[in-house]
Amino acid sequence: MTELEVQQLGDKVVTVLKTIYDPEIPVDIYELGLIYDVFVNENREVKILMTLTSPNCPVAETLPVEVEEKVKVLEEVKDAEVEITFDPTWSQDMMSEEARLELGFL
């Protein structure tokens, strides 16, 4: 894959991430700031570094699996892996302006 193709695939992954919602908050996980990074390599393998709103989040077991499964549906993706981290700890400051507006924080 060329560098441009890697970038385009990364953009497609972000588009998919924007279709996944935290079940308790009416904002997608990307705008919510739960996605820290998306890595795509030339072998079309995707690694997503993400967090949860808290370590005790009720969807801690299911949300990462949902993210992996939805990204793997992209035909260009050979494999996808989600890594959960709590460093740094998620805070409302990580939300996009769009998310803050949607939730009435602006």
Note the pLDDT of residue 55. 86
* Phi, psi for 61 (deg, rounded to 5): -85, -35
Q: Using the 8-state DSSP alphabet, how is residue 25 labeled?
A: S
| 52 closest CA partner among 34, 74, 36, 72 | 34
Q: Per the domain annotation, does 100 fall within a domain?
A: no
Which range of residues forms the domain containing residue 26? Answer: 3-91
Res 2: pLDDT: 92
Q: Residue 23's pLDDT is what?
A: 84
User: Averaged in consecutive runs of 10 residues, what is the pLDDT profile of the chain (106 residues)?
Assistant: 94 98 91 97 97 89 96 97 96 94 88
Q: Confirm whether 102 is domain-assigned.
A: no
CATH number where 54 lies: 3.30.300.130
**Is 33 inside any structural domain?**
yes
Report the domain count for the chain.
1
Q: So what's the pLDDT on residue 18?
A: 97
Give domain status of residue 41, yes or no.
Answer: yes
User: Is residue 104 domain-resident?
Assistant: no
